[in-house]
Structure 1
Amino acid sequence: MPPAVLIISLLLLAHALGGCDSRPTAGAPPPPPVTVARPLEKTITEWDEYTGRFTAVETVEVRARVSGFIDSIHFSEGQVVKQGDLLFVIDPRPYTFAVEQAKADVERAKAKLQIAALDLQRATPLVRSQAVTEREFETRRSTERDAAAQVASLEAASKQAELNLEWTQVRAPIAGRISDKRVDAGNLITGGQTGATLLTVIVSIDPIHFVFDGSEADFLRYMRLSATGARPSSRDVQNPVAVRLADEPDFRHQGRMNFVDNVVNPKSGTIRGRAVFDNKDGLLTPGY
């Protein structure tokens, strides 16, 4: 539209000057100078704005796998932790005793296996000379197999006891920023797969997700652009995005799309999208 407006303005000016030539007026001021610029051609990227929130890529509720009394706590609340850092120590003494008991049971079973193996070894030449009946030989061989199975079973129980002892040290399953402790040292906690006591929560920092909802109309427009080849779908290509925080004047944080949901919410008429941003300085925080 600017070129058209500019051209119309120039035609009106020429007509006015022609009228001035037909009837000159003494002392009339000269016409003002006019600057004319050539129109420029450039590709303009259209942007759509959405409001959303940052969410952590990973969120872990830290719970113990074994029960017991909290012996000590080894982190500062709100600090950044690395994967594998020691967080809590549960009193290990009952589990240490269980490991020692399991190892003793294994040694006892191995001794019985050794005796059964020797009995079978002695019976092998005797069965050929019929000094030992086939039934007696089969009984000794069955006893030896049973003893071997008992050893294997107790070795597995010993490994489980060692694993339980290892689980008395609760370590960070992921790297990120840790929340406050939900229990203090000296408290009895419950471990296991169900009903375990919540100890704390860790959220990852870098990278970070940005989740937003787009309207059904925008979703249809993007789908049609993808169908015509004008713009690839964010389900197939990580299209660029930018975000600004509440106190920032411009969109300075650059990211990329990495997920579009598979359904439109029938209640709100919106579809959920997600972008991912690098967050090496930790400025972007879940919940923004």
Structure 2
Amino acid sequence: MSLTAIALVAGGLFVGPYFFAEPTEAAVATTPPTVAVSAPVQREVNKRLTLLGQFSAAHQVELRAQVGGTLTKIAFKDGEVVRKGDVLFQIDPTPYENRFIKATAAHESARTRLELANIEAARATALQKNGGGTAQNADQKIAEQRAAQAAVDAAKADIRDAEFDLDRTRILAPFTGRIGTHQVSEGNLIAGSRAAASPTTLLATIVSTDTLYLNFDMSEADYLAFQRERLKRDNTFDGKVKIALADEKDFSHAGTLDFIDNTLDPSSGTIHARATVLNADGLLTPGGFARVQVPIAPASPALLVPDASVLPDQSEHVVLTVSKDNIVTPKQVQIGDLRDGLRVIRSGLEPSDRVIVSGIPVARAGAAVTPQDQQILTATN
């Protein structure tokens, strides 16, 4: 074999595979990418607001003494649930017991004087009628009788006052709730005041736990939408709302919207609202955050797609669909909230549209694709 022939054969061995491979790669490059498509899910969906709220206690009290003295006993453990009427703190009652004894003795003395005054007044009146006494003497005894009666009444008031103070040496739980840490220790001198006219000592704070408030704010637009829909239904909104805690995805808790403020805050453009939530299991805590869903319209037909199928487009949103000739066609949509992991589409899609639900990264607007049907799965499937 000649050198030229050998060179051609060798050249074929090295060059040939390159030329054979090039058409195959070109063929792969021109094959439309495969994407999964599905029609939007059709479902009855009620329009609702999803807002962020914060829990607060329905009842919260700072425990302060109404009488002063030395603290002799703390009858609870920090952070425990206490029942209405439980003794929480005890102030040394000795000075108040002494005052009560003195008031009781003064009342007995006043009662004795009143009995004597009654006898003398009756005797003076009888003598006057029989001509054995003067009218002046009778009037004087009657005046002494009235003064003795006033002294008895004052003594009774002193007893009630002393008893009031004695009772207030025991600080009781005003309602059932969870108490915080004690702010004073046994042996401390406590400052008290009945009307808080002078500085008083903070002993502890107690909050209710069986019922909590969930406070949240609605924007002016949301508030108007809510009010318009409620007026359409003749104010028949039952106030039921759904709640999801900070670590929850599902809105598994229930509450009742029972308060909307009477004015909008001009600085924030929002209005304050509040829902009442039962807390029988004690899971909820004042200060915690939660999301609340407020329905503002009855259920109506809606389309839903996977949230990943909704793409941001500057300030708008688009969904990629596949036309009848298998061309990627973006559609601008108005979106709602999430339902069972799917995004509500308020407008922009038709029930017959083929939405790209998988393979979005390889889909380009105006490019051809190979669609394959795939069912949209919800969180409940």
TM-score with structure 1 length normalisation?
0.82
Displacement of 1:238 after TM fit? 3.9
Does the alignment pair 1:224 with 2:224?
Answer: no
Deviation per CA, 1:61-83: give whole Å up to 9, x if none.
11111110101110000000000
Aligned pair in 2 of structure 1 residues 251, 277: CA closer, same or farther (>3 Å)? Answer: same
Matching residue of 1:277? 277
- CA contact under 8 A between 1:70 and 1:184: conserved in structure 2? yes
Question: Letter of the aligned partner of 1:215 in structure 2?
Answer: S
Displacement of 1:117 after TM fit? 1.0
Aligned length: 247
The equivalences for 1:101-180 within 5 A come to 101-180=102-181
Deviation per CA, 1:4-51: give whole Å up to 9, x if none.
xxxxxxxxxxxxxxxxxxxxxxxxxxxxxxxxx9x97x6421221101
Segments of 4+ in structure 1 off by > 3 A?
none
Matching residue of 2:213? 209
Structure 2 Cα separation of the partners of residues 123 and 239 of structure 1: 75
Local SS of the residue matching 1:196: coil
Structure number with higher helix proportion: 1
Structure 2 Cα separation of the partners of residues 184 and 85 of structure 1: 19
Structure 2 Cα separation of the partners of residues 55 and 44 of structure 1: 31
Question: Letter of the aligned partner of 2:144 in structure 1?
Answer: T
Deviation per CA, 1:193-212: give whole Å up to 9, x if none.
22221100000011111000
Structure 2 Cα separation of the partners of residues 110 and 227 of structure 1: 68
Matching residue of 2:243? 243
Structure 2 Cα separation of the partners of residues 197 and 128 of structure 1: 63
Structure 2 Cα separation of the partners of residues 223 and 112 of structure 1: 72
Deviation per CA, 1:90-136: give whole Å up to 9, x if none.
00000010011001111111111111111112112210122211111
Displacement of 1:155 after TM fit? 0.9
Deviation per CA, 1:170-208: give whole Å up to 9, x if none.
111111000000000001111112222110000001111
Structure 1 Cα separation of the partners of residues 144 and 81 of structure 2: 57
Structure 2 Cα separation of the partners of residues 276 and 148 of structure 1: 54
The equivalences for 1:20-59 within 5 A come to 43-59=44-60
Displacement of 1:143 after TM fit? 0.6
Structure 1 Cα separation of the partners of residues 210 and 108 of structure 2: 49
Matching residue of 1:18? none
Structure 2 Cα separation of the partners of residues 125 and 101 of structure 1: 36
Over alpha carbons, which structure has the higher Rg? 2
Question: Letter of the aligned partner of 1:63 in structure 2?
Answer: R
- CA contact under 8 A between 1:264 and 1:271: conserved in structure 2? yes
Question: Letter of the aligned partner of 1:224 in structure 2?
Answer: R
TM-score with structure 2 length normalisation?
0.63
Structure number with higher strand proportion: 2
- CA contact under 8 A between 1:238 and 1:258: conserved in structure 2? no
Question: Letter of the aligned partner of 2:184 in structure 1?
Answer: V
Question: Letter of the aligned partner of 2:122 in structure 1?
Answer: Q
RMSD: 1.7
Structure 2 Cα separation of the partners of residues 227 and 89 of structure 1: 55
Structure 1 Cα separation of the partners of residues 219 and 136 of structure 2: 81
Structure 2 Cα separation of the partners of residues 227 and 180 of structure 1: 47
Question: Letter of the aligned partner of 2:192 in structure 1?
Answer: G
Local SS of the residue matching 2:280: coil
Matching residue of 1:199? 203
Unaligned runs of 5+ in 2: 1-38, 289-381
Structure 2 Cα separation of the partners of residues 224 and 248 of structure 1: 31
Local SS of the residue matching 1:259: strand
Displacement of 1:55 after TM fit? 0.6
Local SS of the residue matching 2:47: coil
Structure 1 Cα separation of the partners of residues 107 and 57 of structure 2: 46
Structure 1 Cα separation of the partners of residues 232 and 250 of structure 2: 31
Matching residue of 2:79? 78
Question: Letter of the aligned partner of 1:141 in structure 2?
Answer: I
